[in-house]
Chain A
Amino acid sequence: MADLGVYLHIVRAQIRSQTQYRMSFAIDLAASTLISALDIATVFVLFSVSGGLGGFGGPAVLLIAGLSALAFAIADAVFGNAERLRELVRSGGFDALLLRPLSALAQLLAVNFAPRRVGRVVQGMVVYGLGLAVADIDWNPARVLLAVVTPLTGAVMFGCLFIIGATVAFWWVESGEVANAFTYGGRDFTSYPLTMYGGGFFGRFFAFGIGFAFVAYLPALALLDRPDPMGVPDWLRWCSPLTAMIAVLAATALWRVGIRHYRSTGS
């Protein structure tokens, strides 16, 4: 990470160029923040129907929704701009990143950094903070650590999905919406207790095949010291850092293979 300073320079330049048009930036910031507020509001509208979701009461639901919202917001702010890869692959503009003496992936994220997405991070922090405050947590050092680390491991998992989704563009440029099913779909999935999805293939695949159970639901159970009603072993509730690491390995491996398939068309 000796290059960190360089990336900060790039990010700052990107912020300068985006905030040049103040009005547009304000609109983008407001829109982006309001749209994610809508997602969180949806959870509470549905909660209000019967005063619970999937057998969990208010504090647990708030904690899960807050964890999911914060993890996704961080991932979206840092990795969400990976989506731009599709455009760069289509136009051949990805060349410019490969010609500089820096990691192409890190540049992709830094060069397209979208400051408007930061509003969502603040929002996620507020909801998660509320969740932690309202939930009856028996604090001990392990739980404090878990509470701090979980939004980050969740963000890493979402971030890997953003990167995997973008990397697919090296083979299939028009794949845009398929990636959305797992990134935005994953955000929706993780906003609710896992118990709501029943025991069918869909729920199992999203929860354990992709690993979404480890973003918010399982760590929230660990914080609340509650077992999973569907019988997931207790120790799995602490395994989010491990699954995040697996996701990182998968995403970087795919990226390495993908970049070799870059065709640099467009000129």
Chain B
Amino acid sequence: MIIEATGLRKDFTVRRKVGRFRREKHVVSAVDGVDLAIGRGEILGYIGPNGAGKSTTLKMLTGVLTPSAGRARVCGLEPVAQRVTLARRIGVVFGQRSQLWWDLPLAESFSLLRHIYKVPAADHAARLKRCTALLGLDEFAQTPVRQLSLGQRMRGELTAALLHGPEVLFLDEPTIGLDVLSKQAVREFLAEVHAAGEATIVLTTHDLADIEKLCRRLVVIDHGRVVHDGSLDELHARYGSRREIVADLDAAWPGLTLPGAQVTAVENDGRRVRLALDGATAGEVVAALAQAVPLRDLSVQEPEIEDVIARLYRRD
């Protein structure tokens, strides 16, 4: 396991105003006993609603925050105590916090990072060349970072995080606020990095397309606790997101009940019916339907991940 966490917790003390002058201390657990085991080469989506504790977990794994309780190991190191050693072996992109030098051209930030991470010149050049090709950095490498668009800057940040050849790449909202093309570029780049087997990738995101395109495994966190750990399919299965059959009929729907399926909606003056699969296969339901009513058209709709996540978030 390249990342391990057991009972990881982070408490924050918050002072709330009570009445006019009194303040009360409250302890809030932003992360409340998270267990994680991530193997080398995995690509994992760490998702959850705002304030669920995603960033806090990442900050504890990268040595930025000291955990209140529990244990974390990344690359076999203890993040806070061995922060400096660990920093050489991981790459981090926190969407809102830049690693780059604001007033200097992008290229100069890269060469500074080479010194900071003590990367051999040849390795640095090779990695930079690859990133430049994949992300199209050439156009703006000589532009001061403050003049870059958000999409360009994010490409710079990704490069900056990879130049020292990290074993783990932590990404906190890498696509937030980006235009469609840049999002696409970032996703393709990450898929490529993952396919090359270079780094284990952990990313938090609100963008469901990121999850669908990139993440084999999802860890969902809510109120500081892990509520799901598994594949996307398992998530669908568990949270009752079902495939749906939409049937257009030649006559009005007679109001049947079919075994292993549930009518979720009747539309178009009774000429369209939606059935959610609930145990039966699509084939069985279609066969049963064809026998009972005159069918004009049929389609099977896959569940939207948005719905799954939304349902998950609504659960309190």
Direct contact between A and B judged by beta carbons closer than 8 A? yes
Residues of A within 8 A of B (CB): 5-6, 9-10, 13, 16-18, 20, 92-93, 95-96, 98-103, 260, 262-264, 266-267
Closest to B118 in A: A6
> Assuming A93-B97, A95-B94, is B117 touching A13 (CB within 8 A)?
no
- Write 9 A-B pairs (CB below 8 A) sorted by A numbering: A5-B115, A13-B108, A96-B99, A100-B99, A100-B117, A101-B85, A101-B117, A262-B66, A267-B97
Q: Which residues of B contact A13 (CB under 8 A)?
A: 101, 104, 108, 112
Q: How far is the CB of B30 from chain A (nearest CB, A)?
A: 10
Docked CA distance A264–B87 (Å): 17
**Chain B 52-64 per-residue mask, 1 if CB under 8 angstroms from chain A, else 0:** 0001100100111
Contact of A9 among B63, B83, B98, B115 (CB under 8 A): B115
Q: Is the CB of A101 within 8 A of B97?
A: no
The reply to whether the CB of B133 lies closer than 8 angstroms to some CB of chain A is: no
Q: Which residues of B contact A93 (CB under 8 A)?
A: 97
Q: Give the docked Cα–Cα distance between A96 and B59 (Å).
A: 11
Which of B63, B115, B172 counts the most chain A CB atoms within 10 A? Answer: B115
Check B87–A99 contact: CB distance below 8 A. Answer: yes
Q: Tell whether B287 is near chain A: CB-to-CB under 8 Å.
A: no
SS class of chain B's interface: helix, strand, loop or mixed? mixed
CB-CB < 8 A to A16: which residues of B?
A: 104, 108
**B102: nearest chain-A partner, CB-CB:** A17
B103–A20 touching, CB < 8 Å: yes
Q: Which of B97, B99, B117 contacts A92 (CB 8 A)?
A: B97
Asked if B112 contacts A103 (CB within 8 A), the reply is no
Q: Is B256 an interface residue when CB atoms closer than 8 A count as contact? A: no
A102 contact set on B, CB distance < 8 A: 84, 87, 116
Residues of B within 8 A of A (CB): 12, 55-56, 59, 62-66, 80, 83-85, 87-88, 92, 94-99, 101-104, 108, 112, 115-118, 172
What is the minimal beta-carbon distance from A10 to any residue of chain B, in angstroms? 7
Residue pair B115, A96 in contact (C-beta under 8 Å): no
Contact B112 A95 (CB under 8 A): no
Collect the chain A residues with CB atoms within 8 Å of residue B87's CB. Answer: 99-102
Q: How far is the CB of B9 from chain A (nearest CB, A)?
A: 15
- Out of A10, A96, A98, name the residue touching B83 (CB < 8 Å): A98
Q: Roughly how many angstroms separate A229 CA and B269 CA in the complex, as a whole number?
A: 106
How many A-B pairs with Cβ below 8 Å? Answer: 74
Of residues A5, A20, A101, which shows the largest number of chain B Cβ atoms within 10 Å of its Cβ? A101
Contact B99 A99 (CB under 8 A): yes
Contacts of B84 in A (CB 8 A): 101-103
CA distance A260 to B84 in the complex (A): 15
Beyond A99-B92, A101-B84, A267-B55, whether A17 also contacts B103 by CB under 8 A is yes
List the 9 closest A-B pairs by CB distance, nearest first: A17-B103, A101-B87, A267-B96, A260-B66, A101-B88, A9-B115, A98-B64, A99-B92, A101-B84
Residues of A within 8 A of B101 (CB): 13, 17
In the assembled complex, how far is the CB of residue B95 from the closest CB belonging to chain A, in whole angstroms?
8
- Bound together, the chains give a CA A10 to CA B108 distance in angstroms of 11
Q: Are A96 and B97 in contact, CB atoms less than 8 angstroms apart?
A: yes
Q: Please indicate the chain A residues that have their CB under 8 angstroms from the CB of B95 in the complex.
A: 267
Q: Which single member of B12, B59, B88, B116 contacts A95 (CB below 8 Å)?
A: B59
Complex Cα distance, B104 from A18, in Å, reads 10
Chain A neighbourhood of B116, CB < 8 A: 6, 9-10, 100-102
Q: Give B50 Cβ to nearest chain A Cβ, in Å.
A: 11
B195 smallest CB distance to A (angstroms): 25
The residue on A at minimum CB distance from B94 is: A95
Q: How far is the CA of A92 from the CA of B172 in the complex (A)?
A: 14
Residues in B whose Cβ lies below 8 Å from that of A260? 66, 80
Partner of B64, one of A10, A95, A101, A103: A95
How far in angstroms is the closest Cβ of chain B from A175? Answer: 16
Query: How far in angstroms is the closest Cβ of chain B from A178?
Result: 19
Q: Which residues of B contact A263 (CB under 8 A)?
A: 12, 65
Closest to A17 in B: B103
**CB of A94 to closest CB in B, whole Å:** 8
Chain A residues closer than 8 Å to B55, beta-carbon distance: 267
A99 vs B66: C-alpha distance when bound (angstroms): 13
A5 / chain B contacts, CB cutoff of 8 Å: 115
Nearest B residue to A10 by beta-carbon distance?
A: B112
Q: State the CA gap A102–B103 with chains docked (Å).
A: 21
Shortest beta-carbon distance from A70 to chain B in Å = 30
Q: Is the CB of B115 within 8 A of A95?
A: no
Q: Nearest chain A CB to B56's CB is how many angstroms away?
A: 8
Known: A13-B112, A95-B64, A267-B97. 6 other contacts (CB 8 A): A95-B59, A98-B62, A99-B87, A99-B99, A101-B117, A264-B64
Query: Across the interface, which residues of A come within 8 angstroms of B92, CB to CB?
Result: 99
Nearest chain B CB to A112 CB, angstrom units = 12
* Option from A6, A18, A96 in Cβ contact (under 8 Å) with B98: A96
Task: Give the nearest-CB partner of A266 in chain B.
Answer: B96
